[in-house]
């Protein structure tokens, strides 16, 4: 076996060393650190195998968690440190030559399994201990009873040797005797703090309501024992949690005489439980409450008594995906953390909470007395907080958000209904341009289709042929002739009429349906282009532009499918232009770009769509196989009327000259007025697309435009 420091065994050893250093200080063991490390080594090996095994078996991680408990690592801190070490070092030392994404995912599963194994083993151990303690308690009680009647010496032995705290008080509550174990629980050596004091002085704000009632019943002789969970203050002010069993001791004639308290320290177990509960109810990335906790709170708010109201803001970041795709997940994560912090600072009043539902979706809940007004203010605060730019990796990013607000009386709707309504409303805010909030409207809710129902209907829609394509002309700015058309897909939904691509393309991307749908769009529009060519439109062959989603771009069948379609239909590769977004290409390495490069070498044109929205590096353009830039609509918005926005003019001018120097042609999108068209022509843009020339429409309209409407 390889024992070189750099070999697999050496690395495994280093992992075990780090691990043992991390948890040794919080482990109650008599071993030395080195011996302890030896003990951990086989478990480290199990972790490594779990990380790299072809098929993941959670039982292996589970076994390691449970082994930790066996070697006395029962402190919650030991678990937490173990998870940290696994998180930071397992992949590093034990995951050579594997796909890093896969390893990260596997590592997370390993951690879950370890935590689950730990929790279960600890629960089992606690149960065993409790049984032992109950037995000891029973023995002690017998011994005390006997001792009171018989041998004082034997009583002493049990009393002092017991692992649980034992105390005796008279019926007034004055403490007469406590054993060592109980003194230790209260901090040790604090005889005076306990002995001679009254039992009923030890109140604590977290005492359950029945604690003192049961006590009174016992000292009055109305009950023989009770068992409660009770907190105490130690002398140093810290809190001791106990399982407390109090029994009444009667004299030989059955008259109440003493009370006997048996006390078990549950502080640590309680901490662990709190910790596990915290982890189950909070988002690991941002530390915000997660979906589970949010639903609990929402449920509570909705089942509040009559007259109470609630307000909910459902926030989805605008354009987060583009940031994540172009700057990478680490930057995306940092942005989410920053957003979470800001949200938290917006909702600090009592009755307000913020949670992360997942991805870039957050919620803020308010249950104050005046939610009708407060929830609007809350949404306003959130939007203005988001407006402040975030600095990440030396860049200033502006995140915006869309918020759906639901407000109303408690007791009328279920959490799921409220969330659905909020989601629909958020979408309305997004469709209206984002960076705003909208109020829920029950009439709109009823007629709105949810993302979920659309997603499930997508596959059948493709089979039933519910999709169709509209074409929008691309106009040559110099000659005013139609040089091509962009294919834009629509869905004729049987209930909801025509739906635009923004409604369903993201869903198709999430579910993978985009691949067959995209293939259909490609074939259909290539056929259409072929038909136009056959009819010999004036101005020569018309080029067809087809949008490609990132998933299609990286689908292994892309090149073969495209070639197949072009050949079957009989269209020149040069008559096809594939539009890919800037954000899909950022960060793509040469391997990922290969299919696109192959297509480009074959003569297919590649356009960089929505240019200017993806935070890309202009210097990057050179290594991409593109021949055309499509400038995003946002650049031309400032030029609709005279005088045009000077900054926009300068930017567009700069981009055009850069593009031309790289041999790229420039198409501008969203040209809506003659003023814009004029300016853009003067700035040297090559091609334009927009409502000024024509809205997207059926294929025969393109023909008409070419003959009649062409604008010079
Ligand atoms: P895009 O590629 O940027 O397409 C241009 C969008 O701008 C189209 O919206 C078009 O209708 C709209 N538009 C055109 N001229 C003007 C104008 O003068 N003013 C304004 N305000 N808007 C104008 P549409 O059709 O809703 O498409 C939205 C997006 O959906 C497209 O953005 C494209 O990214 C995606 N998409 C459309 N069809 C497909 C497809 O077949 N496959 C894929 N993967 N995505 C598609
Ligand atoms: Ca496009
Ligand atoms: Ca575009």
Ligand 1, atom 7, lies closest to the CA of 670
Which residues have CB under 8 Å from 201's CB, separation 6+?
173
pLDDT in tens, 243-269: 999 999 888 788 898 899 999 998 888
Atom number, ligand 1, closest to the C-alpha of residue 501 = 30
Mean pLDDT of 537-550: 83
Atom number, ligand 1, closest to the C-alpha of residue 549 = 44
Ligand 3 centre to CA of 322 (Å) is 13
Closest ligand to Cα 549: 1
Ligand 3 centre to CA of 505 (Å) is 14
Q: What is the pLDDT of residue 270?
A: 85
Atom number, ligand 1, closest to the C-alpha of residue 696 = 11
Mean pLDDT of 599-625: 84
Mean confidence (pLDDT) of the chain: 87
Atom number, ligand 1, closest to the C-alpha of residue 630 = 3
Least confident of 223-227, 426-430, 641-645: 641-645
Kindly report the backbone phi and psi dihedral angles of residue 450, in degrees, each rounded to the nearest multiple of 5, phi listed first: -90, 165
Confidence of residue 341 (pLDDT cuts 50, 70, 90): very high
β-strand pairing of 361-366 with 352-358: antiparallel
Closest ligand to Cα 691: 1
State which fold the 454-696 domain adopts.
TIM Barrel (3.20.20)
Atom number, ligand 1, closest to the C-alpha of residue 514 = 44
Q: Exposure of 399 by Cβ count < 10 A (0-12 exposed, 13-18 middle, 19+ buried)? A: buried
Closest ligand to Cα 548: 1
Ligand 3 centre to CA of 613 (Å) is 10
Ligand 1 centre to CA of 688 (Å) is 14
Ligand 3 centre to CA of 612 (Å) is 10
Ligand 1, atom 30, lies closest to the CA of 501
Closest ligand to Cα 516: 1
Q: What is the pLDDT of residue 542?
A: 83
Mean pLDDT of 583-611: 89
Angle of helix 33-52 versus helix 100-149 axis, rounded to 10:
130
Sorted by where each begins, the domain ranges of the chain are 7-127, 162-271, 282-440, 454-696
DSSP 327-366: H-HHHHHHHHHHHHHHHHHH--STTEEEEEEETTEEEEEE
Residue environment code for 143-176, b if the CB has 16+ CB neighbours within 10 A, otherwise e: bbeebbeeeeeebeebbeebebbbbbbebeeebe
Asked if residue 688 lies in contact with residue 712, where contact means CB atoms within 8 angstroms, the answer is no
Superfamily of domain 282-440: Reverse transcriptase/Diguanylate cyclase domain (3.30.70.270)
Record the pTM: 0.51
The residues facing 278 across adjacent strands are none
pLDDT in tens, 117-175: 888 888 888 888 778 777 777 777 777 666 666 556 666 777 777 778 888 899 999 88
CA separation for the pair 372, 505 (Å, rounded): 35
Residue 375 has pLDDT above 70, yes or no: yes
Ligand 1, atom 46, lies closest to the CA of 547
Ligand 3 centre to CA of 580 (Å) is 9
Q: Give, in order, the Cα–Cα distances in Å from 187 to each of 104, 196, 458.
A: 44, 17, 66
Ligand 1 centre to CA of 696 (Å) is 9
Distance of CA 145 to the CA centre of its chain: 59
Superfamily of domain 162-271: PAS domain (3.30.450.20)
Which of the listed residues 471, 501, 555 should we mutate to test ligand 1's pocket, taking the one with most ligand atoms within 8 A of CB? 501
CA separation for the pair 308, 327 (Å, rounded): 44
Ligand 3 centre to CA of 632 (Å) is 6
Ligand 2 centre to CA of 29 (Å) is 65
Q: What is the pLDDT of residue 26?
A: 85
pLDDT in tens, 472-517: 999 999 888 899 999 999 999 998 899 999 999 998 998 889 999 9
**Which residues are near ligand 1 (CB < 6 Å)?**
472, 488-489, 500-502, 505, 518, 521, 547-549, 579, 609-610, 633, 669-672, 689-691, 696
Atom number, ligand 1, closest to the C-alpha of residue 489 = 38
Ligand 3 centre to CA of 488 (Å) is 11
Ligand 1, atom 14, lies closest to the CA of 690
């Amino acid at each position: 076996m390889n024992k070189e420091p750099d070999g697999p065994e050496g690395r495994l050893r280093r992992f075990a060393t780090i691990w043992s250093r991390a948890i040794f200080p919080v482990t109650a063991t008599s071993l030395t650190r080195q011996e302890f490390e030896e003990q951990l080594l086989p478990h480290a090996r199990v972790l490594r195998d779990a990380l790299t095994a072809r098929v993941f078996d959670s039982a292996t991680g589970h076994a390691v968690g449970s082994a930790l408990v066996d070697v006395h690592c029962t402190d919650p801190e030991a678990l937490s440190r173990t998870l940290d070490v696994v998180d930071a070092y397992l992949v590093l030392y034990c995951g050579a030559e594997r796909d890093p994404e896969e390893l990260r995912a596997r590592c997370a599963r390993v951690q879950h399994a370890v935590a689950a194994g730990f929790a279960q083993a600890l629960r089992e151990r606690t149960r065993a201990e409790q049984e032992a303690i109950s037995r000891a308690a029973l023995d002690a009680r017998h011994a005390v009873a006997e001792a009171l009647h018989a041998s004082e010496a034997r009583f002493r032995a049990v009393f002092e040797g017991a692992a649980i705290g034992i105390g005796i008080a008279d019926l007034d509550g004055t403490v007469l005797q406590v054993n060592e174990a109980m003194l230790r629980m209260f901090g040790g050596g604090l005889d005076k703090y306990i002995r001679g004091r009254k039992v009923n002085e030890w109140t604590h704000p977290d005492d359950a309501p029945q604690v003192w009632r049961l006590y009174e019943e016992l000292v009055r002789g109305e009950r023989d024992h009770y068992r409660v969970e009770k907190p105490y203050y130690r002398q140093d002010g810290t809190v001791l949690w106990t399982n407390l069993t109090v029994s009444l001791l009667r004299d030989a004639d059955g008259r109440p005489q003493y009370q006997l308290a048996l006390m078990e320290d549950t502080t640590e177990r309680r901490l662990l439980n709190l910790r596990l509960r915290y982890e189950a109810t909070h988002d690991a990335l941002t530390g915000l409450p997660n979906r589970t906790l949010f639903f609990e709170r929402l449920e509570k708010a909705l089942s509040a008594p009559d007259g109470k109201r609630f307000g909910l803001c459902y926030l989805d970041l605008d354009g987060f995906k583009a940031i994540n795709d172009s700057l990478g997940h680490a930057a995306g994560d940092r942005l989410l953390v920053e957003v979470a912090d800001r949200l938290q600072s917006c909702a600090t009043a009592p009755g307000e909470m913020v949670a992360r539902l997942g991805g870039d979706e957050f919620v803020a809940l308010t249950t104050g007395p005046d939610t009708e007004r407060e929830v609007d203010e809350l949404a306003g605060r959130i939007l203005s907080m988001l407006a402040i730019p975030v600095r990440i990796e030396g860049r200033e990013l502006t995140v915006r958000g869309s918020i759906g607000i639901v407000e109303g009386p408690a007791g009328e709707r279920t959490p799921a209904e409220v969330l659905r309504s909020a989601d629909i409303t958020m979408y309305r805010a997004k469709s209206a341009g984002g960076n705003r909030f909208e109020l829920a409207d029950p009439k709109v809710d009823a007629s709105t289709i949810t993302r979920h129902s659309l997603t499930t209907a997508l596959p059948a829609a493709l089979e039933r042929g519910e999709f169709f394509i509209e074409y929008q002309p691309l106009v040559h700015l110099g000659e005013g002739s139609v040089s091509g058309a962009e294919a834009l897909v629509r869905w004729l939904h049987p209930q909801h009429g025509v739906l635009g691509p923004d409604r369903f393309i993201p869903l198709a991307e999430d579910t993978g349906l985009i691949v067959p749908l995209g293939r259909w769009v490609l074939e259909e529009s290539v056929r259409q282009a072929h038909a136009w060519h056959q009819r010999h439109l004036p101005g020569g062959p018309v080029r067809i532009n087809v949008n490609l989603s990132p998933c299609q771009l990286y689908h292994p069948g892309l090149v073969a499918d495209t070639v197949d379609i072009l050949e079957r239909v009989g269209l020149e590769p040069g008559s096809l232009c594939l539009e890919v977004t800037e954000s899909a290409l950022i960060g793509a390495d040469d391997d990922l770009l290969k299919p696109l490069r192959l297509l480009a070498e074959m003569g297919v044109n590649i356009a960089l769509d929505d240019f200017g929205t993806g935070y890309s590096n202009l210097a990057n353009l050179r290594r991409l196989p593109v021949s055309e830039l499509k400038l995003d609509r946002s650049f031309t918005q400032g030029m609709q009327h005279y005088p045009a926005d000077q900054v926009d003019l300068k930017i567009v001018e700069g981009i055009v000259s850069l593009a031309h120097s790289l041999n790229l042609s420039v198409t501008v999108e969203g040209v809506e007025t003659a003023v814009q068209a004029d300016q853009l022509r003067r700035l040297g843009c090559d091609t334009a697309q927009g409502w000024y020339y024509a809205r997207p429409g059926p294929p025969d309209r393109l023909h008409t435009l070419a003959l009649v409407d062409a604008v010079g």
